[in-house]
Amino acid sequence: MAANMPVEALSAAQAEQELARLAAEIGAHDTAYYQNDAPLISDADYDALRQRNAAIEARFPALKRSDSPSERVGAAPTQAFGKIEHAVPMLSLGNAFNEEDVTDFDGRIRRFLNLEAVAELRFTSEPKIDGLSASLRYEKGVLVQGATRGDGRVGEDITANLKTLPDIPHQLPDHVPDIVEVRGEVYMSHADFAALNERQSAQGGKIFANPRNAAAGSLRQLDVAITKQRPLKFFAYTWGEMSAMPADTQSGMMACFAEWGFSVNPAFVTVDETSGLLAHWADIDAQRAALGYDIDGMVYKVDRLDYQQRLGFVSRAPRWAIAHKFPAEQATTKLNDIDIQVGRTGALTPVAKLEPITVGGVVVSNATLHNADEIARKDIRIGDNVVIQRAGDVIPQVVRVLVEKRDSQSRPYEFPSACPACGAPALREIRDDGEADVVTRCSAGLTCPAQAREGLKHFVSRAALDIEGLGQKQIDDYWELGLIRSPQDIFTLEARFADNPPEIWQYTSGAKDKIGTIKDSARKLFAAIEARKTADLDRYIFALGIRHIGETSARLLARHYMSLPAMMQAAQNMAAGDEAARSEIETLDGVGKALVNALVGFFSSPDNCAAVTALIAAGINPTPPEAVATDTAVAGKTIVFTGTLEKMTRAEAKARAEAMGAKVVGSVSAKTDILVAGPGGGSKLTKATELGVEILTEDQWIDLAAR
C-alpha cells in the first residue's frame, strides 16, 4: 500500500493518495497537540509524517495540496477564547536530526547569501523548551494583549491568564519602542509539575501526563484564578511586531529582553561556526536531565538581523533558523500484557501494558504498539523484556524486544479477529489500490458501544462542537448513566431532564466540590448546549467523525454544500450513481477520491442518515459559511493554480480567490476559466493552453485580485 512505500517508488496517483492521507493525519495531530493539549504520537513520529509529506511534495510539486501541512502551523483557535490576529505570523521551525543536517543548514545559508566558506557567520544557540508558545504585545510600554500561537495567523486571547505569570512584566522601561511584541514559551518545571500532580491527586482533580500538558492546560483555563494558582514560567526568545529595532543582532535582542525584565534562557550562547553549535548541543544534551524543565532539542539562528531579513522564509518556517532535535530517552522493562482499545472509527489499537518504569522523570506503564503489522514486524510477545522510548515526552512506544532475554515457551501474539467491545468481526479493509489497510477495524459501526462512545467524545471535542461543561469525562459519566447514547441525545437533555436533573450534573465543571445547586449546574449546561445548536456548519461536518474529513476539508464541504441536508442528499445521489455530482465535488481543490468515497460510504448507512436527521429534528440549525462576493472580477469563475507562487503562498492565493467568489479546483478542464501559473506549471499549463483557458502570471493574478 502507498503508506508503506518509499517516496521514490510512488506513482503520481499513489502520491496524490498519500498527500491526502498525510494532510488529514497531520491535521488531526495538530488539533490534538495545539488545541486539546493531548498529543497522540511522539515528536519523532510526527516529524516523520511531515518529512514524508515534504519529500512527496518535492518529487511531485504539481500535486501539492491547498491544505498542505507544509503551509500550515499549529491549529485553529477554539471558540472558548476570543481571537487575536497576529500582526506578524507565528511560524514554526524546520528540523535537523543529525550533524549532517546542521552542516547542510550552514551551507544553504552561505549559498543563499553568496558567502564564502571562510566568511564569518555567527549563530545563536539555545534550548528548545517543550511548552506552549505565547505572544505578548506592549503599547507605550504597557502589556495590552497576550495570545497563543493558534494556527500561526490567528491565536486565542489569553491576556488575563498571561498577566498572572510572575515572569511576565506588565510594564516595560520608558525607553522601549512604542510597539513591542515579545514571544516565548510558557512552561512548568519538573519540581512544580510533580507538586501540582500531588495537589491534584489529594483534591481528586485531573492528573497531568507531563509538564507540557500541565502548562498548556493551566494557561488556557477559562477561570483566571485557576491559572494564577499554577506555577507557570516564561522564557522570551523572539519577537513579532516592533515599531523600532533596539538591536541589530539576535543576541542583542535577547540582551534587550533581559534588560526589560524578561527571563532569557541562561544556556543561550553565540558561536562562530557549526562545530560550536554541535559542541553546545552535546553539552546541553549531557545536562538535559538536570535542567529542571523539559526540552526536546536546540534552536540555532543566524545572529545578524540583516542576514535574517535577506534570508526570509520558506513555506511555514524561516530559512535562518532550525531546531536540532535530541534523540528519544529510552529504558528497559517487561511487557505484561497487550490490551486492545477500540476508537471512534472502529480502529483496534494495541497497547502494551508494562511493568511501571521511570523514563525522563515520568512513570510509564503503557506504550502504543500501533497495529498488528507493527507487533508482527517487531515480534512483540507478552512476557518479553522490551526497550521503550518517550520521543518528545509524549506517548511511549516499544522500540525493540530483547530477544536474548525471552522465555523459550513464549508464542507470537495473535491479533484478535473479533472486536473486544461488541464481538463483531474485526477486519482489515481493502483499499482502492488493492492492498489491505494496516488498521484492523470493528465492522459493527456505531452499533458498537466503544465506537459510539468515542464518537460522542469527538462530537463534543474542542475542534468540533466545543460545548462548555460537556467534555470527555462527562460523556463517560452520562454514557454509564444512560443519559447520552447518540449525538441527538445531547440536544434533548433539557426536554428530558430539566425538571429533575440527575445529581451527577453538579460535576459538569469537573470539580468534586459542589458549586451552586444541581439545577443551576444543569441550567448552565442546557444553555451551553442551546448555544451550540447554531454552531458553524463546518464544525458539525467535522463532528460527524467521517473518515478522511478533517477540519480543513469540513470547511471545503461546508462552503460547497451550505447545509447538512444538501450534503447528505448529494452523497446519496452519488451512491445511486450520479457521476455529475461526484465529478463536481472531486474537482474542488483539496478534495480527493478517498474523501468522497468516505462521504458516500457514511451516508450510505441508514443509521448514519437517521442520526443526522434526528439531529436536525432535535433543533440544530448550523450556521453556513458567509456568502462569498458576487461583484468582483472573478466571482463565479473557476480558477486553477499551478507551479510555484513566489509572492504569496498557494493557501493565501486560494483563500483570496474564494473570498472574491471564485471556485478553486485542482485540475484543468473545459470548465476552467483562469489558470494562474507560476514557474514549473507542468502538465496543467500545457492542458490549459490546449483548451484555450485564460492564463495569468502571478503578478497578473495579484493585479486582478486587487481590483
**What positions carry a catalytic annotation?**
128
Q: How far apart are CA 649 and CA 124, in angstroms?
A: 29
Torsions phi, psi of 180, nearest 5? -130, 125
Are 657 and 664 in contact by the 8 Å Cβ rule? The answer is yes
Q: How far apart are CA 368 and CA 350, in angstroms?
A: 7
Cα 102 to Cα 19, 318, 322, 647: the distances in Å are: 27, 15, 8, 28
The 8 Å CB, 24+ separation contacts for 701-706 are 701/653, 701/676, 702/647, 702/648, 704/633, 704/634, 705/634, 705/656, 705/657, 705/660
Torsions phi, psi of 108, nearest 5? -60, -40
Residue 157 buriedness (CB in 10 A; 0-12 / 13-18 / 19+)? middle
**Lookup result for grid cell 493531548:** 38
Q: How far apart are CA 153 and CA 86, in angstroms?
A: 6
Residue 94: closest CA among 125, 134, 56, 50:
50
Vertex 621 angle, CA 573 and 483, to 5°: 100
Q: Which residues of 438-473 are buried (b: 16+ CB within 10 A; e: fewer)?
A: bbbbbebbbebebbbbbbbbbbbbbbbbbbbbbbbe
Per DSSP, the residues of 406-421 read --TT-------SB-TT
Cα 441 to Cα 340, 342, 511, 632: the distances in Å are: 11, 8, 36, 48
Residue 133's DSSP bridge partners are 185
Vertex 499 angle, CA 497 and 505, to 5°: 55
Query: From the DSSP assignment, how many helices (H) and strands (E) are in the chain?
Result: 25, 24
Residue 269's DSSP bridge partners are 125
